[in-house]
Chain A
Amino acid sequence: MPAIKQDAYTSGRLLWTEAKHKKATLTGLTVDNQGVSPETISLYDCFTAISGVWASGGAAQAQEDLGTTDVLSGKIRKQLTVPAGETAHLGDTDLKDLQFLGSVYVVASVTDTGCIITAQYQLR
């Protein structure tokens, strides 16, 4: 099972890139905030939705860019706040219904190399 470690960064750090024919699930998430201030961690799902047609009515739906050019326009799938000096851990049972369609970035409220985010995930 892949795992990745990143530090807290306000512009976002990449956790994994989109697998074209797979969705992703998180199996574990740890935020070890040894920094000086509380951190709010957001997981952004970033992808492009293709153009389609609305099933009811038949109007056209244009292609949508959600976070592929600007991470902050992606979809937030998970958010948690961890006080300074504490560690939060979410396991499989907390995360099992969370699905990601595209590339996933972790965005922090404060840039701090003392706050480490570790994610385990699966592509299926």
Chain B
Amino acid sequence: MLELRPTEVPTTRPKILLLDHWIKFSDKFPDTLNHVKGRTARIAKQQQVPYELSYLLKSGCYYDLDPSNEAGEAIYPYAAQSLYEVLIGFKPGNYMCHLYFPADFPVYRLDYPTMVVNLNNAKLKYLGAIKPEDSPDTDPRLKLYFVYKLTPIIFRLIVLEGIDYEKITLNLLINRCSMDFSTPLPPDVKPKPILYLTEIAEMRAE
């Protein structure tokens, strides 16, 4: 006799925000971003826009990729109700990426004051470095949220030494969302928290 057992249905969380998802921006957003600071929103519309960026660099050199609108690649939102959820994947290569926010303040650091990336130091230049295999273009795991008027996030793209020249290619999937702030949050819904990047960088052990 066959034993009937309930079938296990694996559930996976969607990788990107979809229609009618809810988000809540942290209270730690600065006052200059009052249009989102501490607010809860429903995703009213969304559209996924793929985009590729490539930089061919000499070994041992870096290039600062600025995604902001005025001086950079113009991939920041241009309206207060827009949110760009950006998945960043790196094509394979001999390079790494450091994230700075704001400029010159590394996002990925440790608690001890000297434990921040230092490109002049043979050990510390690898601290907090994102390698292509950490977020491959086929399965991007680095995700950032861009809102209107956000301070530029700097991607410092560094070609490793001893490999001549390298082509750095970033595969971006920009999930372009339109936010609705007018609908009240239903009581049974837990919105996805959107943290301000410095909240992570300034994290301290209690």
Where the two chains meet, the residues of A that have a C-beta atom closer than 8 Å to any C-beta of B are: 20-23, 47-50, 52-58, 61, 64, 66, 75, 101-102
Contacts and interface: CB of A to CB of B under 8 A. Distances in A.
B62 A57 contact: no
Nearest to B57: A52
Contacts of A64: 58
Interface of B: 52-58, 60-64, 91, 93, 119-120, 125, 158, 164-167, 169
Given A21-B91, A21-B169, A53-B63, 12 more contacts: A48-B56, A49-B56, A49-B57, A49-B58, A49-B165, A50-B57, A52-B57, A52-B58, A52-B61, A54-B60, A61-B58, A101-B167
Given A21-B52, A21-B54, A53 B62 contact: yes
6 closest cross-chain pairs (CB), A and B: A52-B61, A21-B52, A55-B119, A101-B167, A52-B63, A21-B54
Contacts of B62: 52-53, 55
8 contacts: A22-B169, A23-B167, A49-B58, A49-B165, A50-B63, A52-B62, A55-B119, A75-B164
Given A21-B52, A23-B167, A55 B58 contact: no
Nearest to A55: B119
A56 to B, nearest CB: 5
Contacts of A21: 52-54, 91, 169
Contacts of A101: 56, 165-167
Given A21-B169, A101-B165, A55 B56 contact: no
A56 B64 CA distance: 15
Contacts of A54: 60-61
A56 B120 contact: yes
Contacts of B63: 50, 52-53
Nearest to A60: B61
A55 B158 contact: yes
A55 B54 contact: no
Contact of A53 (B54, B61, B165): B61
Contacts of A102: 56
Contacts of A53: 61-64
Nearest to A20: B54
A80 to B, nearest CB: 20
A47 B168 CA distance: 14
Contacts of A20: 52, 54
